[in-house]
Amino acid sequence: MHCWCRTFAVLELVHEMNLNIPIHTSVMMNTHNEHAIEKLKEYGITRIVVGREMTLSELSLFRERTGIEVEYFMHGDMCMSESGQCIHSGVVFGQSGNRGRCLKPCRWPYQLIDEQSGEVLDSDGPGPYKLALKDMCMYRSIPQLIQAGVFSFKIEGRMRPAPFVRRIVSTYRKAIDAYLADPAGYQVDEEGWKSLYENRARDFTTTFAFGKTTKKDIGFDGKREPRFFSDAVKEAGFQDDVLKQEPDIQKENAPHRTLSVRTGTIESAKAAIRQWCRCRLCRRRGLPPEPSVVTGRLR
Ligand code: SF4
């Protein structure tokens, strides 16, 4: 059993409750550098799921310099944006990808249109699915993954049928065991590769593992784009009776009117101050020491 965290709040809670279990961080913690890893280690984190945007060379350095266990995506659905940072679905539809509700707008067809003339500018392009990354597949690179110090391998299985996931997991398991048993004599099992390839959802890419992505990593024609969406996770929400017991919080959060005014002289600032019961003077760095902005709560 282990705890899988995506916020510092959960980390605090784990310590408060004195839980003695391994603590791992989710990819949603956006761990992309050594400083972040060192900070997480202070909280007792023993393993991190790194962002999918990291290369294997970077993972080697993490392992060597911090000693942390690294988990890395090896197969499945990719995001166009940085792991856990995409707000596309949340902004356009109010359905946040960070709450499991993504409507996957990156996997829809788009046209590039001149705003003034309405002319379609990309009719000769490779296809309308401009943001649709192919699926990650590291089957042919298992030795490189292990040599980079990857400790745990992540296979994306959300919304996939069980037989689909079972085939992928067992194929990778066999290959990893074969490499660990005989690294020098290891060869890619072509039958395993054929099984993955013939049952693929999208076409395959190694995405960021060996460097930046290019247009060869995009499935522009959308022909293999599955038509499914994530399931929404039900919000826990607040209970009315709990809120009623929190009058102080309600009062603190009650709306109040504020007003800011920029003044050019001390006199006009004083005049503004006289109108308000509470006020604050702000001086901008590099400007003469006259008050430039006065902010206050209205009476
Ligand atoms: S729209 Fe959804 S699937 Fe696409 S990059 Fe953003 S979070 Fe990922």
Among 35, 33, 27, 29, residue whose Cα is nearest residue 11? 29
- Index of the ligand 1 atom closest to the CA of residue 103: 2
User: Is 86 touching ligand 1 by the criterion CB < 6 Å?
Assistant: yes
Q: Is the CB of 104 under 6 A from ligand 1?
A: yes
Q: Is 52 in the pocket of ligand 1 (CB under 6 A)?
A: no
Q: Is the CB of 103 within 6 Å of ligand 1?
A: no
Q: What separation in Å is there between the alpha carbon of 89 and the centre of ligand 1? A: 7
pLDDT at position 7: 78
- Mutation to probe ligand 1, out of 82, 87, 104 (largest number of atoms < 8 A from CB): 104
Q: Per mean pLDDT, which of 17-26, 28-37, 141-150 is the most reliable? A: 141-150
Whose Cα sits closest to atom 3 in ligand 1? 104
Confidence category of residue 282, pLDDT binned at 50, 70, 90: very low
User: Which residue, 73, 83, 207, 211, is CA-closest to 150?
Assistant: 73
- The segment with the largest mean pLDDT, out of 56-60, 95-99, 257-261, is 56-60
- 179-235 pLDDT, tens digit per residue, is 999 999 999 999 999 999 999 989 999 999 999 889 999 999 999 987 655 554 555
Distance 49 CA to ligand 1 centre (A): 18
Radius of gyration of the chain, Cα coordinates, nearest whole angstrom: 26
* Local confidence band at 84 (pLDDT 50, 70, 90 cut-offs): confident
Span 106-116, pLDDT tens digits: 999 999 999 89
Range scoring the smallest mean pLDDT among 22-31, 93-102, 172-181, 182-191:
93-102
Q: How far is the CA of 65 from the centre of ligand 1 (A)?
A: 31
Residue matched to tokens 């046209």: 111
Q: Which ligand 1 atom sits closest to the C-alpha of 86?
A: 6
pLDDT digits (tens, 9 = 90+) for 147-178: 999 999 999 887 788 898 999 999 999 999 99
Q: What spacing in Å lies between the alpha carbon of 123 and ligand 1's midpoint?
A: 25
Question: Which of 80-89, 258-267, 285-294 has the highest average model confidence (pLDDT)?
Answer: 80-89
What residue owns the CA closest to ligand 1's atom 1? 104
Give the pLDDT confidence score for residue 97 in this predicted structure: 82
DSSP-assigned letter for residue 113: B
Beta bridge partners of 279: 296
Let me know: does 40 contact 29? Beta carbons within 8 Å.
yes
- Residue 214, classified by CB atoms within 10 Å of its CB into exposed (0-12), middle (13-18) or buried (19+), is exposed
Residue 245 clears pLDDT 50, i.e. is over it: yes
